[in-house]
Amino acid sequence: MSPLHDRIPSVGLHVLYEPEKSDNTLIDIVFIHGFGGHPMRSWQCDDRITPVTRARADSHPRNRPLLRLLKRKGSSDQTNQSATGAKITRSNTWHSESNTPPRLFWPRDLLPTACPEARIILWGYHTLHSGNMPVVSQSDIFSHVEDLVRKLGELRRGIGVQQRPLIFIAHSIGGIVVKEIFRQAEFSETKSDQDILSSTAATIFFGCPHRAVEQEPLMDTVVSMAEASSSIQTESSVLSALCGVNNPRWGEAQESFVRIWNHFNFIVKTYQERQGDENGLINNRSQSSKLGDMREGAESLPGDHRTMCQFKSANDVGFISLSKILQEIVKDEKSKRRGLTAEETKCLLRFTSHQVHGSRSSAPGSSLGTCRSICNTVEFCDWYRRQGGSNEHIFWLTGAPGSGKSTQLRHFRYRIEKQWNSATTSIIYCPAESRSLSQVPVPDSKLGKMRSVTAIRSILSQLFAQDLDLRQRIFGLCDDTVNDADLTQFFLDDYIANKPRTLARRTFILVDAGDSCDDVYIRELLYCLSQMARNSNFSVCLASRLISGLVPPNITQLQLEKHNFEDISRQVQYRLRLATNLLNEVIDGGGAQDLVDRTLDELPVDLHGLYEWTLATLSPKEMADATTIMRWVMLSPEPMMLNDLQMAVRLSRTSFLLCCDPESALDIGLPWSMQELQKTGKQFDTPSQFYQWLCSRTRGLLEARPADGEGKAQQSLGLQHIYPINESVRSFFLSGRGFAALSSGRATTTPPDHEAVDLCHYSLFRTILTYLNTSDLSPLVSGHRLPDAKQRVLSPETSPIWRRNVVDQRNLITSSYPFLRYAVDNLLYHLLSPRPLRYFLPQHAIFRMFTSDNCRIWRRWTALLGETEASAILAKCKSAEALLQPEFGTSFRLERVFRAVNKMATGDSWFSPRRSLGLSVSPMFPIPPKSRTGVEAEAGAGAEAEAEVDEAARQKPTAPGPHLLPLPPYAIRRGPRSRGTVVVVMSGRR
């Protein structure tokens, strides 16, 4: 253990301890003292450290090399003169006493041993005093909160750890400081402030005032605590004012804390003082420091108000209790980073249901007004924020068929994903489908014949990676197969009954029951989900049609028909507009009155039939164009910008992109140039022309909308996103009827063939590959010799400014090229969307695709993505998250392929041509300035070096050998479809 530094600042943030390796830091702990306290003395034991105590604290081997006490240059104590002439002192530093043994400072001497993965941060605020009397004219404690929030946000943002779990440990009045931090962060629009609240994992209160006790005003209790923690004796009115009791923000912070606690579901632990003698004042302080909630686990500690948090050794009851809480949080963080083992993956595959979990979570289009109005209802707010006694309730969204239940549920998911970060939230989305009565009998008289086992399988398979206890319990069921009866019985009698808990602080379970589900099926779902909501902290939502009969009591119901009147009216207007357009075409074409009457009689009754009639008026060439447009709009994981869609349609209209199998989709072919593709889109050179062409080809079924919060006048047309005019248009095409209508002119009512959707994804994926392989992107990559390993490695923590610059350059490049950002972000999504590729991943074909042309596609994709590690790439491809579920086994196979390709691209593979050539193609962005020494002198001719490396890759040997011919110092190459001569300058080998 390193000795205590002579100076510890009493004001501001101070990092007391931090593991030497940043990857080992899992949590941040912030200590906040009470009124008149000190960031060190408030936690320091009065007893001197004996040699036995010091040896015991230093015995842990990790303490000596890992502890880093960051020195700060302190100034001498500042002194001023008060109005009365007395000295006003504000101590900025604490000096250790010489020639005396140091006192035990447990945040430094004990905590790194118990929790070595934590970064320990001290925060202090000054209190002006004149002798033993505080200065009346100074501000209260609330004046320091904004400074703490700002500095803490800067500290975490400076090294990019805004999502790291945060734990506050507060003593006495410091607890109200923590509550005020949460209150400000809740209403703040600053991202760093919001991250502090969403990342909070626990709050530990040592003797903090939470409420008034019987026959004792809160002000008296607060004054008593302030006097005990600061040893200051003065009038009660002065102390209460300095503690902020008279400030309205005190009441606001106290009232908002329980609401924030329920919403963000972090851990709260309260400790109370305990004295041997009977003292009414101490009892009042003890009762006031309890929240009165069973979840807090209130615990009394020996000692008075000041010494209750000054632990003497690692065997103190309070330190042992606190250490267990911190160790549990660290354990959960380690579990999040650990993936599934081979045995766990095999077990998951045995009981999972083979369907893609999740749904399109983008913001709804035409029904956005209804979605927002429902999110503002009392029923939804109580369920979403877990308040008003709705913690154990299901939110049951009911509506007639076609009323927009699925759309509303997707908006719920979109709202959750937007307001929460993935590190603290788990979203389980389950589309429920009914099964026949002859299947899945379960021996339970209450449930009869269970048919909701498919939904149960889907929920359990998605919870498997989030719940450690579930993994252990379900191993006993994983024999060769898991039958439905045993799985359902396990779900109801074992899993739910034992209060399940996931690694996430909030777990949302969204179940979408189709309109085809009968009353028995929906009642079974309500029973199972009500049991889960009652015995867990999960937030459960079910969307289904309304059923008759009794339902479980813990249900909050909302009828959609009472809130979607505007959407129904808008849908009627769409239908009338389409019908009017059809009649106008008949009349303009010279149709007689009898033809108009016959057209009116034959108009379809249902909306999908009307869409079929509308598309049937297209010519064969227009149908082909409409098919290309609808593929991108309906099958993309996110709404596409008009400029991106214009480029995608141009690429898709070329004849060489027609793919009918995985082999043709994964075959890159020769690179093309944008100049050769201009002839495919002469009808729409500008966004305005393209939008007019799009509306004519889709007969008005698509429209452009600006981003959220912007009007059409404020946002350029090319930057607006393309949406269907109504969600029924999306369901019309995804059901297969829309694409069938465009292929044959009149659709059948038979269920769609999933192979048609797979073929669409083949073409979309091939389009992305073609774009990334274009010669226009070649100037983005430069070549140079391999620098020394020490020069290449630069920790982001040592140069955060350079790291941010690289990210900014990457964003600038992807936003400068239309369709480039979409292609980079969604390449993996379109690769895994076809079922043959998802279930039977062609690893060799994918490896050959990424390594062809000397890893051209791989280098461009990973450089623009900003990641090269296999696991980091999969984590960054958010759109493909649902397709990377463990039950498919895709993620493990892809990681293996990506690792092999990355070794090939970086020259680590023994058969890599770069190793034999002594060259390396750098990332798209420059290396840090510190590592450019000696590199510029050995660089090639810049971007042109890529052509020579590509040429050498086509002639790479199967094994290393001495038969490689030396390359000439100057080489002239003219490649296929080239419009110029590339001169490559190669420096000699050393």
Query: Domain limits of the chain?
Result: 7-81+88-336, 339-562, 564-603, 616-748, 774-990
pLDDT value of residue 846: 92
Q: What is the pLDDT of residue 375?
A: 87
Convert the pLDDT of each residue in 127-183 to its tens digit: 766 666 666 667 778 888 999 999 999 999 888 888 899 999 999 999 999 999 999
Interatomic CA distance for residues 672 and 772, integer angstroms: 10
From CA 68, how far away is CA 55, in angstroms rounded? 19
pLDDT for res 484: 74
Beta carbons within 8 Å of 93's beta carbon, 6+ residues apart: 7, 8, 9, 10, 74, 75, 76, 77
How far CA 49 is from CA of 45, 52, 57, 312, 336, in Å, comes to 9, 8, 10, 9, 38
Grouping H, G, I as helix, E, B as strand and the rest as coil, residue 147 is helix
Question: Is-contact 783 946, C-beta < 8 A?
Answer: yes
Which of 69-83, 139-153, 589-603, 724-738 bottoms out in mean pLDDT, i.e. has the lowest? 69-83
**Range with the lowest mean pLDDT among 160-169, 540-549, 711-720, 896-905?**
711-720
Evaluate whether 459 touches 430 at the Cβ level (below 8 Å): yes
Q: Average the pLDDT over each of 19-33, 204-218, 546-560, 934-948 and give the range with the smallest value.
A: 934-948
- 297-to-109, 234, 290, 386 alpha-carbon distances in Å: 26, 34, 9, 20
Contact 532, 455 (CB under 8 A): no
Q: Are 629 and 699 in contact (CB under 8 A)?
A: no
Given this model, what pLDDT does residue 271 score? 96
Backbone angles phi, psi at 324, to 5 degrees: -60, -40
Which one, of 30, 318, 296, 26, lies nearest residue 168 by Cα? Answer: 30
CB 853 within 8 A of CB 953: yes
- Report the chain's C-alpha Rg in angstroms: 33
Strand order across the beta sheet in which 539-544 lies: 425-432, 506-513, 539-544, 394-398, 555-559
pLDDT digits (tens, 9 = 90+) for 797-851: 445 565 666 677 777 777 788 899 999 999 999 999 888 888 788 899 999 999 9
Provide the pLDDT for residue 579: 66
pTM of the model: 0.65
CB 646 within 8 A of CB 690: yes
Spacing of C-alpha 130 from chain mean position: 51
Residue 355 in this model has a pLDDT that exceeds 60? no
Q: Are 556 and 396 in contact (CB under 8 A)?
A: yes
Three-state SS for 765-808 is HHHHHHHHCCHHHHHHCCEEECCCHHHHCCCCCCCHHHHHHHHH
Which stretch, 236-240, 398-402, 648-652, has highest mean pLDDT? 648-652
Three-state SS annotation for 296-339 = HCCEEEEECCCCCCCCCCCCCHHHHHHHHHHHHHHHHHHHHHCC
Residue 888 falls in which region: left (phi positive, over 0), alpha (psi -120 to 50) or beta:
alpha
In which band, very low, low, confident or very high, does the pLDDT at 337 lie, cut at 50, 70 and 90? confident
* Structure confidence at residue 566 (pLDDT): 64
pLDDT of 536 strictly over 50: yes
Q: How confident is the model at residue 440 (pLDDT cuts 50, 70, 90)?
A: very low
* Mean pLDDT, residues 345-359: 62
Domain 7-81+88-336, CATH 3.30.1560 — does that match? no
Residue 782: the pLDDT is 46
Q: What digits encode the pLDDT tens for the residues 869-900?
A: 888 898 888 888 878 876 567 888 898 999 99
Which structure tokens are listed for 332? 């959960």
Pairing of strands 267-274, 299-302: parallel
Secondary structure of residue 273 in the 3-state scheme: strand
Q: Given this model, what pLDDT does residue 574 score?
A: 60
Q: Which helix (H) or strand (E) holds 767?
A: helix 754-772
pLDDT number for residue 677: 66
- pLDDT-wise least confident of 245-249, 504-508, 787-791: 787-791
The mean per-residue pLDDT over the stretch 917-942 comes to 40
Pick the most confident of 639-648, 745-754, 953-962: 639-648
Tell me: pLDDT of 936 over 80.
no
Q: Tokens 């009232």 map to which residue?
A: 255
Residue 924 has pLDDT above 50, yes or no: no
Which fold, 339-562? Rossmann fold (3.40.50)
Tokens (6 digits) for 940: 């090639």
The mean-pLDDT minimum among 71-80, 253-262, 644-653, 697-706 falls in 71-80
Q: How many CA atoms lie within 13 A of 752 on its CB side?
A: 19
Mean pLDDT over residues 958-981, rounded?
Answer: 38
- Average the pLDDT over 187-208 and give the result: 91
Q: Which residues pair with 170 in a beta bridge?
A: 32, 205
606 band by pLDDT with thresholds 50, 70 and 90 = low
* 440/589 Cα distance (integer angstroms): 59
In the structure, what pLDDT confidence band is assigned to residue 541 with cuts at 50, 70 and 90? very high
Residue at token pair 């010091």: 54
Which stretch of 352-361, 593-602, 695-704 has the lowest confidence by average pLDDT?
352-361
282/304 Cα distance (integer angstroms) = 8
pLDDT of residue 586: 63
Average pLDDT estimate for 596-622: 73
The pLDDT-based confidence of 583 (bands split at 50, 70, 90) is low
Query: What is residue 674's predicted lDDT score, i.e. its pLDDT?
Result: 73
CA atoms within 13 A on the CB side of 855: 27
C-beta separation of 125 from 35 below 8 A:
no
Backbone φ and ψ of 241, nearest 5°? -70, -40
In the chain, the percentage of residues whose pLDDT exceeds 70 is: 68
Q: For residue 920, what are the β-bridge partners? A: 784
Residue with tokens 């057209």: 599
CA distance 38 to 139: 17
Max distance between CA atoms of the chain, in angstroms, equals 112
Which comes out higher in pLDDT, residue 428 or 681?
428
